[in-house]
Amino acid sequence: MIFTSNIFVFLYLPLFLALYYLVKPSWRSHVIVLGSYMFYAWWRPDFLFLFVGITYWNYLFGLRIYALRDSDRKAAFRWLTVGVVGNLLTLGYFKYANFGAEAIGSAMAQFGLDPFVMENIILPLGISFYVFQALSYIVDIYRKDADPTDRFVDFAAFISLFPQLIAGPILRYEVIASQLRARVHSFDLFSLGVCRFMLGFSKKVLIADSLAPISAYYLAINEPTMAEAWFGSLVSILQLYFDFSGYSDMAIGLGMMMGFRFSENFNQPFLCMSMTEFWRRWHMTLSGFLRDYVFVPLIKTGWMGAAAASLLTMFLSGIWHGASFSFIFFGLYFGLIIFVERRYNWVTNIDSPYRFSRNLLAVGMVVMAMPLFSTGDLGKSIEIYAGAVGMNGIGNIDNYLYLTSATSFAFVFIAVAWIIVAGVINRRFYDLKPEQYFMQHVGGLHAVLLWVAFGLSITKLAAGSFSPFLYFQF
């Protein structure tokens, strides 16, 4: 089940919210767990057992770590180590076993050996996200940043919250713990949540889904010209942004409808002037997780300096994104640039003075990374890069017009216009408020436009086909 489906919008969500608000507050975590398990099992009921198993594993380890963290720090660390390794082994098996077997098989074939065949392992939906959340729980308890929840059902609700279960934002237990115990429900917050959901729904259905066929066409061209390679890469980053930020908006909005305040996941990433700043604006919950649980510990323990730690952290980010060499190089690409930025003090922050030339250069570097991400294939990415530097001629982008219509291209201009207008408004009114930005809080007159866009999205959805979110594969 996905948010942009009729069964979710018109059946599941109304029934869930009705039940959620009908029961007394002490039972609402039970409703969240029941509803979230049904939401997850809609895909494949058998993987629900794995999900529940990981939940119990981390809850029990959290209790044991808490019992020992003051009296026997070394024993608590051993329990933490076993808990972390267990989580990572589970994630590694389901996400990387196929890739590892394929890589070993290819290496064996190079030496004339018969490669072994491994049965294809299905990747459970959302496992990269809920394993990270489980890790944050036991690590935060060990660090004394949080205490374990008094009720197992509250922890199960934290892990399984369906709005962010499949593709984030990644929840940190220390941030959400107090909200699990008590949170404020109000008509204003609920209304804001509805508006935020409609905003994300419209971004996904109207813009991202309209860009999807254009991106797929240009990235699939054999021996693309310079124009085709760059245009395809540009459209693919636009599609990814409106798809993923749209999902995050919907997740945050659904959380507000239940009284939760999730962490923001995007903050106008195309205003960045360095790759370091880009990752402070893009997928911020992943960046924050890697910063606090990988980057900072590497520096505090003295294992490596900030520049080298940045490189390793982004390498791990690439591996987290996908099991292929293209994703490894995706992480290394950003890691190397951030390494250089730190070494030569070229890092910018969200509140740094704006310079158009640096902004344009940074966005260009982001666009250059997209073939590695969007294709998931290193060979195809190299082919696109060959076209991007002109090895197949300059070319043009009018082939797609002959196959479809100019109407689809209108959404490219709409997407670019959205980003430019949002950037200008953000710089004008939110420049001194780095924690706030345009369209983070929607309501009032914006709501009228949102209802129109939402109505158009529902109409388009009824006439369209199934379109999952891009981050479902992670």
Q: Which residues are known catalytic residues?
A: 321
Q: How far apart are CA 419 and CA 269, in angstroms?
A: 9
Give the three-state DSSP class for 372: helix
Decide if 460 contacts 205 (C-beta within 8 A). Answer: yes
For residues 233-244, one letter each, b for 16 or more C-beta atoms within 10 angstroms of the residue's C-beta and e for the rest, the string is bbbbbbbbbbbb
- Cα–Cα dist 276/339, whole Å: 9
Residue owning tokens 């952290």: 313
Amino acid at 340: V
3-state SS of 240-302 is: HHHHHHHHHHHHHHHHHHCCCCCCCCCCCHHHCCCHHHHHHHCCHHHHHHHHHHHHHHHHHCC
Q: Name, in order, each residue with C-beta under 8 angstroms of 181's C-beta and a sequence gap of 6 or more.
A: 149, 154
Q: Is 416 exposed, middle or buried (0-12, 13-18, 19+ CB in 10 A)?
A: middle
Q: Tell me 344's DSSP state.
A: T
Q: How far apart are CA 367 and CA 188, in angstroms?
A: 39
> Are 140 and 171 in contact, with CB atoms under 8 Å apart?
no
What is the rounded CA–CA span in Å between residue 260 and residue 265?
15
What is the secondary structure of 437-461 as a DSSP string? -TTSS--THHHHHHHHHHHHHHHHH
Both tokens assigned to 323: 């099991």
Residue found by looking up tokens 């076209």 in the block: 387
| Alpha-carbon gap, residue 347 to 280, rounded angstroms | 11
Closest CA to 172 of 302, 315, 44, 291: 291
What size, in residues, is the chain?
474
Q: What is the residue type of 461?
A: L
DSSP 124-166: PTTHHHHHHHHHHHHHHHHTTS-PPPSSHHHHHHHHH-HHHHT
